[in-house]
């Protein structure tokens, strides 16, 4: 039953939703709309589950004093202080929650993302080599797109943005379409395999 | 010749801390020096979005979905500000939602700040309905039943008590849907679900790295415009007639791109030099 019951739920929900898409009339429209509401409610509970899991994992790290446990104290303090202030004073602009979000969370989040620039610079220097014909084509395309997508490229030569636009509109679109069609076919086949019970990997390994 | 050989040998083992320092300087110096470089050419995808919104009659309803988080704020926030400002100036009615939890606070900031600048009033000129979990399913839900997914705005006011929400039962009253996105759910879901089910025109803004993903939708006419990264935002600022965060950031981005190209060229010179040495059987 540990595997059969979740499989049954998957098949009923999957088929129900599929029928709702192709036959949006009674009773399938009611079933589909009910499933939509359920997803929204379940997603909200998933956030709570995530918070619970976070507290458990980091609570354990603090109680066992595993490596880096002081960071867990900072993380949990951040979670509780932000949540308490948000519940107590609200989350509107000008509240303490907004202050934390605007002046702590936002700059820290942007900082994490901006670190990518350093890794890309290092990776470009070490790995971006014209080792083969394909790599050379990629290199040449990257050269034009990188210069064509910044204003300094226009100042150097007005043709850079035009070449960059052509690369984005034609070769990139063709490649993206191929990837999208391939991925869509993959999604369809995997979904069918899940619905008819061939693919059980989503149930876990035991 | 010997000096050049030594230099090329050094390049092979260049300490990455030097690369990091040069990258940091390439970002910091233009930002401190306020080196904002305006774009001379406006791309068709940015112009398309601007023209579409500009031609909408006052009072038209525009749905803006904030589907990004602080990680991508430097790229998506300037475009959010530029679009919201443009809509307010044209007296378009903005109905805003967030499909990302942290997108809600960012949306609130943009709408509140811009409304204050342009004298707009919540509930009368715009409405912010907050965050709703569920991703793509929320989009599906509001295609047919708006109030069931968003029964109140972010302050808890029922939709029936918000004047700008009158007549909105699904997505069809909207003249445009704009998604400012940095992942899933985002532009792709709005095109695949909302546009396909309701035929309401969709456009949006995204990070530069994800922009190529949306060109097939632009070329097929499923999207009427796209702001790709900070460059797209700076172009929008320029045609809207103001210098915002994106224009200010263009100097830094330009210099970093140039630096990256120099790194790539130097690395390839060093690579070909090594290859030639190997071919000629020269040992250091």
C-beta neighbour count of B171 within 10 angstroms: 22
CA distance linking residue A67 with residue A157, whole number of Å: 54
Angle between helix A106-127 and B245-280 (nearest 10): 20
What percentage of chain A exceeds 90 in pLDDT?
A: 68
Name residue B206's beta-bridge partners.
B181, B228
Residue A183 placed within a domain: yes
Q: How far apart are CA A166 and CA A194, in angstroms?
A: 41
Task: Collect the ranges in chain B with pLDDT lower than 50.
Answer: none
Q: Is residue A190 part of a domain?
A: yes
Residue A206 pLDDT? 53
pLDDT tens, position by position, A10-55: 999 899 888 988 898 888 889 998 999 999 999 999 999 999 999 9
Structural domain contains residue A160: yes
ipTM of this predicted structure: 0.88
Which of B16, B69, B134 faces A40 most closely, judged by CB atoms? B134
Q: Verify whether the Cβ–Cβ distance B41 to A158 is below 8 Å.
A: yes
Q: Is A20 helix (H, G, I), strand (E, B) or coil?
A: helix
Query: Is the peptide bond preceding residue B185 cis, with omega within 30 degrees of 0?
Result: yes
User: What is this structure's pTM?
Assistant: 0.92
pLDDT score at A93 = 87
User: Which of A40, A110, A165 has the CB atom closest to B149's CB atom?
Assistant: A40
Neighboring chain B residues of A105 at a CB cutoff of 8 Å: 70, 102
Q: How many residues does chain B have?
A: 284
Which residues in chain A are closer than 8 Å to B264, comparing Cβ atoms?
A: 124-125, 128, 139, 142-143
Calculate mean pLDDT across residues A92-110.
Answer: 93
Confidence of residue A124 (pLDDT cuts 50, 70, 90): confident
In a domain, A44, yes or no: yes
Query: Does residue A63 form part of some domain?
Result: yes
Instruction: Determine the distance in angstroms separating the CA of A170 from the nearest CA of chain B, rounded to an integer.
Output: 9
pLDDT by residue (tens digit) across A44-75?
Answer: 999 999 999 999 999 999 999 999 999 999 99
Closest CA to A149 of B73, B263, B257: B257
Q: Can you read off the two tokens belonging to residue A176?
A: 């993206």
- Asked if B260 and A121 come within 8 Å (Cβ–Cβ), the reply is yes
Interchain contact A111–B (C-beta under 8 A): no
Q: Is A98 on the interface with B (CB under 8 A)?
A: yes
Q: Is the preceding peptide bond at A27 cis, omega within 30 degrees of 0?
A: yes
Token pair for residue B133?
């979990």
Query: Could you tell me which chain A residue has the CA closest to the CA of B137?
Result: A36
pLDDT of residue B204: 97
How far CA B20 is from CA of A90, A111, A183, in Å, comes to 41, 15, 36
Q: What is the largest CA-CA distance in chain B?
A: 83
- Taking domain B44-242, whether its CATH number is 3.30.70 is answered by no
* Domain residue extents for chain B: 2-36+249-280, 44-242
Of B116, B60, B61, B48, nearest in space to B85 by CA: B116
DSSP A198: S
A9 located within any domain: yes
How do strand B61-67 and strand B93-98 relate by DSSP bridges? parallel
- Domain of A22, in residue numbers: 1-68
User: Chain A residues with CB inside 8 Å of B254's CB?
Assistant: 150-153
The reply to whether A181 touches chain B by the CB within 8 Å rule is: no
**Spatial separation of the C-alpha atoms in residues B135 and B103, rounded to whole Å:** 13
Query: Does residue A64 sit in the same domain as residue A133?
Result: no
Bridge partners (DSSP) listed for residue B223: B202
pLDDT at A200: 86
pLDDT for A92 equals 87
Report CB contact under 8 Å: B40, A154: yes
C-alpha distances (whole Å) from A70 to each of A51, A64, A76, A78 are: 19, 11, 10, 13
Report CB contact under 8 Å: B20, A118. Answer: yes
Which residue in B70, B215, B254 is closest to A176 by CB distance?
A: B215
Q: Do A64 and A134 reside in the same domain of the chain? A: no
Site from A18, A152, A156, A178 to mutate, B interface, most B CB atoms within 10 angstroms:
A152
Nearest beta carbon to residue A110 from set B22, B74, B212: B74
* Token pair 């036959």 in the structure block, residue: A23
Residue A41 placed within a domain: yes
Residues of A in contact with B262 (CB under 8 A): none
Compute the nearest-CA separation of A83 from chain B (Å). Answer: 13
Q: Does A173 touch chain B (CB under 8 A)?
A: yes
Give the mutation candidate from A32, A40, A50 for the B interface (greatest B CB count, under 10 A).
A40
Residues of B in contact with A129 (CB under 8 A): 267-268, 271
Residue A126 in contact with partner chain B when CB distance is under 8 A: yes
Residues A74-94, mean pLDDT to the nearest whole number: 94
Q: What is the pLDDT of residues B179-217, one digit of tens each?
A: 999 999 999 999 999 999 999 999 999 999 999 999 999
What average pLDDT does the segment A74-101 reach? 94
Q: Which of A33, A101, A129 is closest, CB to CB, to B271?
A: A129
Instruction: Calculate how close chain B gets to A197, using CA atoms only, in Å.
Output: 24
- Mutation to test the B interface, candidates A18, A114, A117, A179, most B Cβ within 10 Å: A117
- The residue assigned the tokens 């636009």 is A165
The count of C-alpha atoms lying within 13 angstroms of the C-alpha of B205, restricted to the half-sphere facing its C-beta, is 32
What is chain A's mean pLDDT, rounded?
92
Residue A81 in any domain: the answer is: no
The distance between the two most distant Cα atoms of chain A, rounded to a whole number of Å, is 68
Average pLDDT over residues A96-120: 92
The β-bridge partners of B131 are B98
Say which of B101, B145, B231 has its CB closest to residue A150. Answer: B231
Between chain A and chain B, how many beta carbons pairs sit less than 8 Å apart?
172
**In terms of Cα–Cα distance, which of B177, B227, B224, B221 is closest to B200?**
B177
Token pair belonging to B126: 């715009």
**How much is the pLDDT for B277?**
83
The total domain count for chain A is: 2
Which residues on B lie below 8 Å from A146 (Cβ)?
Answer: 257, 260-261
Name the one residue in this structure whose structure tokens are 């876990």. Answer: A204
Q: What tokens does A8 get?
A: 């049954």
Contacts of A96 (CB under 8 A, 6+ apart): A85, A89
Query: Residue B141 is nearest to which of A40, A93, A152, comparing CB atoms?
Result: A40
Residue at which a domain ends, from A19, A42, A68:
A68
């Amino acid at each position: 039953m540990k595997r059969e019951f979740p499989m049954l739920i998957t098949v009923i929900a999957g088929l129900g939703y599929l029928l709702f898409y192709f036959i949006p009339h009674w009773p399938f429209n009611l079933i589909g709309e009910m499933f939509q509401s359920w997803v929204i409610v379940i997603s909200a509970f998933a956030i709570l589950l995530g918070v619970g899991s976070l507290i458990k994992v980091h609570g354990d790290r603090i109680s066992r004093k595993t490596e880096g446990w002081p960071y867990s104290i900072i993380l949990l303090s951040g979670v509780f202080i932000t949540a308490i202030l948000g519940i107590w004073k609200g989350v509107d602009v000008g509240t303490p929650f907004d202050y934390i979000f605007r002046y702590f969370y936002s700059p820290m989040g942007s900082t994490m993302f901006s670190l990518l620039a350093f890794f890309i610079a290092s990776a470009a220097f070490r790995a971006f080599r014209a080792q083969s014909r394909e790599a050379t084509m990629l290199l040449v395309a990257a050269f034009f797109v990188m210069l064509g997508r910044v204003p300094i490229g226009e100042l150097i030569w007005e043709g850079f943005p035009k070449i960059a636009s052509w690369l984005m509109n034609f070769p990139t679109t063709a490649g993206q379409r191929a990837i999208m069609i391939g991925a869509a076919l993959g999604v369809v086949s995997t979904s069918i395999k899940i619905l008819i019970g061939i693919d059980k990997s989503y149930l876990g390994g035991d | 010749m010997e000096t050049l050989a030594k230099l090329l040998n050094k390049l092979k083992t260049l300490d990455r801390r030097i690369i990091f320092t040069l990258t940091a300087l390439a970002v910091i110096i233009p930002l401190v020096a306020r080196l904002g470089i305006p774009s001379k050419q406006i791309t068709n995808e940015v112009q398309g979005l601007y023209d579409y919104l500009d031609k909408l009659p006052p009072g038209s309803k525009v749905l803006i979905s904030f589907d990004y988080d602080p990680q991508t704020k430097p790229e998506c926030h300037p475009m959010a500000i530029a679009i919201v400002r443009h809509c307010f100036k044209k007296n378009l009615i903005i109905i805003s939602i967030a499909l990302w939890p942290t997108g809600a606070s960012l949306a609130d900031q943009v709408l509140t700040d811009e409304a204050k600048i342009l004298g707009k009033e919540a509930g009368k000129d715009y409405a912010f309905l907050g965050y709703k979990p569920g991703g793509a399913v929320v989009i599906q839900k509001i295609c047919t039943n708006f109030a069931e997914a968003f029964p109140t705005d972010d302050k808890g006011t029922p939709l029936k008590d918000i004047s700008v929400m009158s007549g909105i039962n699904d997505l069809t009253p909207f003249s445009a849907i704009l998604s400012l996105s940095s992942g899933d759910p985002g532009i792709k879901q709005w095109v695949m679900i909302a546009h396909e089910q309701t035929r309401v025109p969709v456009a949006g803004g995204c990070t530069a790295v994800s922009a190529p993903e949306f060109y097939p939708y632009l070329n097929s006419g499923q999207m009427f415009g796209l702001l790709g990264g900070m460059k797209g935002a700076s172009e929008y600022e320029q045609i809207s007639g103001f210098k915002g965060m994106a224009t200010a950031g263009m100097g830094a981005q330009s210099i970093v791109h140039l630096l990256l190209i120099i790194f790539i060229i130097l690395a390839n010179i060093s690579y070909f030099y090594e290859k030639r040495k190997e071919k000629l059987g020269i040992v250091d």
